Amino acid sequence: MVAPVLKPNDPCWCGSGSKFKRCHRASTERVRPGRLSPTRPVPAHIPRPSYAETGIPKDWDEPLVKSPEVIERMRRAGRAAAEVLRDAAALVKPGITTDELDAFVHDECIRRGGYPSPLNYRGFPKSLCTSVNEVICHGIPDNRRLEDGDIVNLDVTIFLDGVHGDTNLTVPVGTVDPGSLRLIEVTRECTALGIAAVRPGQPVNAIGRAIQTHAEANGFEVVRAFIGHGIGEQFHTNLQIPHYYERRARTVMEPGMTFTVEPMISAGSWDHDIWDDDWTAVTVDNSRVAQFEHTLVVTDDGAEILTLPGD
């Protein structure tokens, strides 16, 4: 089902019961791009991924099933990413800029001996993705200050010990309306249900089926254009994990496979536009989006989440 673009007299996506024109259309300005700070340097002693200097990742046929040694390195990278994300999320409050959050994540990755994976990946200019309100994903940190009532997704990936750990979460900023809080909670549930659907012998479309069923049962939509992906020594491998039911996604899950589950759930339309920066994806109807993400390894009887803090 495709959610329509909201008209002024439609009920607002936030669940308030008010018309869209009297609720979020009137009170919420679209997020606009701000000013970028200079690119932050990475010390020479930090090991770098293939694209760090050129912006172009080196692609190779990385095995879908990882060796125990690679998986152990991914545990370390995933744990580091989770701890950086946890600490960055604790800084979120009205008045902080997304650029300040980027500076924190950049420094924390380096302090752990890692490289912030987004930095110069296909030219991305920052070390963190910050997606606010109607931004679906790939928001670029800038001098915009977070405002009371915003929601923001922080997407952290670290390249450590030759592998990537990728995770994100959505955080309310100050006092947030009940509709947005419900969107965040349902998205968290969708992510958990997608992870619970991971089983060896099952096709990867079982993940999307579980997510889409729960999202739509709660009146939300699953963004189609951006999906989960294989991960390991490469930031993105060829393995694709749709978060909606895709009949053709028939790759069978096997123990040792590593990939992300990261559904983007919209309160309105799942359709998107891209800003002129060629990165920032936004909903076409200004509806808010929440997202959570974990890096997983398929086990003999389910999945192990690799992106959890050490404590």
Q: In this predicted model, what pLDDT tens digit does every residue of 236-268 receive, in sequence order?
A: 999 999 999 999 999 999 999 999 999 999 999
What are the pLDDT digits (tens) for 27-78?
Answer: 457 999 999 999 999 999 999 999 999 999 999 999 999 999 999 999 999 9
User: Both tokens of residue 57?
Assistant: 């990742």
pTM of the entire predicted model? 0.91
Owner of token pair 């924390």: 108
Q: What is the mean pLDDT of the chain?
A: 94
Owner of token pair 């254009």: 225
Q: What is the largest CA-CA distance in the chain?
A: 58
Find the angle CA(63)-CA(279)-CA(174) to the nearest 5 degrees: 105
Residue type, 88: A
What are the pLDDT digits (tens) for 76-133?
Answer: 999 999 999 999 999 999 999 999 999 999 999 999 999 999 999 999 999 999 999 9
Neighbours of 310 (CB within 10 A): 9
CB 193 within 8 Å of CB 217: no
User: Both tokens of residue 4?
Assistant: 């329509």
Q: Which CATH number fits domain 62-305: 3.90.230.10, 3.40.50.720, 3.30.1330.120, 2.40.50.140?
A: 3.90.230.10
User: Both tokens of residue 293?
Assistant: 């993400």
What are the pLDDT digits (tens) for 172-228?
Answer: 999 999 999 999 999 999 999 999 999 999 999 999 999 999 999 999 999 999 999
Residue type, 193: L
* Domain range summary for the chain, segments of one domain joined by +: 62-305
What are the pLDDT digits (tens) for 141-181?
Answer: 999 999 999 999 999 999 999 999 999 999 999 999 999 99
